[in-house]
Amino acid sequence: MPLTRRQFCVTATASATAPLFAQNTGRINVAAVDRQRILAEAEAALKLPPRPLTAIKARTPEAHPQDFASDPELLPTTPAKPFRAHAEALFDASATIAALTAAFIVTSESRFALHAGKHLYAWFVDPATSVSAAMPTVTAPGSVTDLAPLAEIARALPFLIDTAALYPPDLATAQAWFRDFLTWLSTARPALIAREARDHAASAHLLLTAACARLLRDEGELTTARNRLKRPTLRNQISATGEFPHEVATPYPLRNTLLNADLLTCACELLSTPFFSLWTFELEDGPGIRVAAAFLFPILQDPSRWIYPADATHYRDVPRRRMALLLAGRAYNRPEYVDLWRTLPAPLYPAPSGTEPEPFRTSQPIRQPLLWTTRAPHGA
């Protein structure tokens, strides 16, 4: 049967544009794009010995050396000096384990997995050095944000299950640690106060819950977290035009906005399934992850478009290569998001100078996109 003129034009147009659509996609090969940075960080991480809390001077002489403690970050003008040593050590451990795990995924070289295992053993297995999962000295709800790097460790662990990183009994002990920590998240008063907050503390709690539940395959906790993201989180945190009202009112409006975007999108990624995507969920009057991503994209392109006050310190140092940009670009098939993410500079960890500005640690607890865009063995 001969083609009509309309059918011919449609067919010809589709044929001509097919290569364009094949290239113009948010689904890039993250391992290929990020390989050089991953390997640079992993080679540096191989030189770092484990440094658990017991290797750090505690906040007070009577404090137990295995109890995590942190004070919320204060303004530079505040006379008191907050205790940040444990928060920095946890960030270092998470960044190290994540870099080594990402390098193992890219290369399949056991040296990366084995060194990651040494850090995991010191932090979560060894009775003499492992951090207490009960968090007895975490009393400030805002300190839950300092625990956010644990989410990436929980995400890294499934990639090491079939390696020699941890012996099976030690792997079981590490998983039990995250089970106990999940119990703390769902029962302890500071954690519950953080969960009900209207800012990034609640987002950190949501991400930690999602990461632990995903690691442990706890469908009950995953369902609870999905419902929390759909209703109180979107309603409490995102405006109809995509801003985070409670973040822009803080002394660090840009830093906290970008931090919150990363936390929420990583939680959304963990909680979504092939049969149930939270990326497309929106409230009737507009709030959703999609509108938040649309609000942030032009700002990450050009920070001069930021209409709120500048951060109290390090406004120009806040990293702009954000997990939120990559994950939203993939979820919504927005290649312009992914292209921007790919072209923005990614600060190396550890930094060549050995020091990083505070925003690097406080605003970017999630470091390795490959762990969040790759399906772990056994479907984890």
DSSP output for 64-105: -TTS--------TT-SS----HHHHHHHHHHHHHHHHHHHHH
Dihedral angle sign, alpha carbons of residues 202, 204, 207, 212 = negative
The confidence band for 357, taking pLDDT boundaries of 50, 70 and 90, is low
pTM tops 0.85, yes or no: yes
pLDDT at 110 over 90: yes
SS3 content of the chain, % helix, strand, coil (to 5): 60, 0, 40
| pLDDT of 9 higher than 50 | no
Tell me, yes or no, whether 131 lies in a domain: yes
Percent of the chain with pLDDT over 70: 91
Q: What band does 131 get if pLDDT is binned at 50, 70 and 90?
A: very high
Question: Domain for residue 235, yes or no?
Answer: yes
Give the mean pLDDT of 104-115.
98
Q: What is the pLDDT of residues 141-173, one digit of tens each?
A: 989 999 999 999 999 999 999 999 999 999 999
Q: What is the pLDDT of residue 91?
A: 94
Q: Residue 281: is its pLDDT beyond 80?
A: yes
pLDDT in tens, 15-67: 333 333 335 567 899 999 999 999 999 999 999 999 999 999 999 999 999 99
| Tokens representing residue 255 in the block | 């830093």
Q: What is the pLDDT of residue 351?
A: 67
CA gap 150, 119 in Å, rounded: 13
How many secondary structure helices (H) and strands (E) does the chain include?
A: 17, 0
In single-letter form, the type of residue at position 231 comes to: R
**Does 380 reside within a domain?**
no
Residue 8 within a domain: no
Q: Is residue 335 part of a domain?
A: yes
> What is the spatial distance between Cα 139 and Cα 236, in angstroms, rounded to a whole number?
23
Q: Which domain holds residue 282?
A: 28-374
Helix (H/G/I), strand (E/B), else coil: 167: coil
The answer to whether 195 and 203 have CB atoms below 8 angstroms apart is no
User: pLDDT value at position 314?
Assistant: 87
Mean pLDDT of the chain: 90
Inside any domain, residue 379: no
CATH at residue 142: 1.50.10.100
Between residues 361 and 177, the one the model is more confident about: 177
The answer, yes or no, to whether residue 323 has pLDDT greater than 90, is: yes
C-alpha R_g of the chain: 21
Answer yes or no: is pLDDT of 354 > 70: no
Count: domains in the chain: 1
Residue 276, beta-bridge partner list:
273
pLDDT digits (tens, 9 = 90+) for 186-207: 999 999 999 999 999 999 999 9
Query: Which one is predicted more confidently, 70 or 81?
Result: 70
Contact 174/157 with Cβ under 8 angstroms?
yes
pLDDT at residue 26 in the model: 72
DSSP string of 292-305?
A: HHHHHHHHHH-GGG
Is 289 within the bounds of a domain? yes
The 10s digit of each residue's pLDDT in 208-244 is 999 999 999 999 999 999 999 998 999 999 999 999 9
CB-based contacts of 84, cutoff 8 Å, min separation 6: 70, 71, 73
- Distance between CA atoms of residues 213 and 223, nearest Å: 10
pLDDT of residue 3: 40
Once rounded to an integer, what is the mean pLDDT over residues 315-333? 94
Residue 13 predicted with pLDDT over 50: no
pLDDT of residue 313: 87
For residue 288, what are the CA distances in angstroms to 118, 303, 330, 373? Answer: 40, 22, 16, 21
User: What pLDDT was estimated at residue 227?
Assistant: 96
Query: Has residue 316 been placed in a domain?
Result: yes
Other Cβ atoms within 10 Å of 281 Cβ, number: 18
Say if CB 191 and CB 144 are below 8 A apart: yes
For the stretch 28-31, contacts whose Cβ atoms lie closer than 8 Å and that sit 24 or more positions apart, written own/partner, are: 28/330, 28/338, 28/342, 30/326, 30/369, 30/370, 30/373, 30/374, 31/105, 31/106, 31/370, 31/374
Residue 371 has pLDDT above 80, yes or no: yes
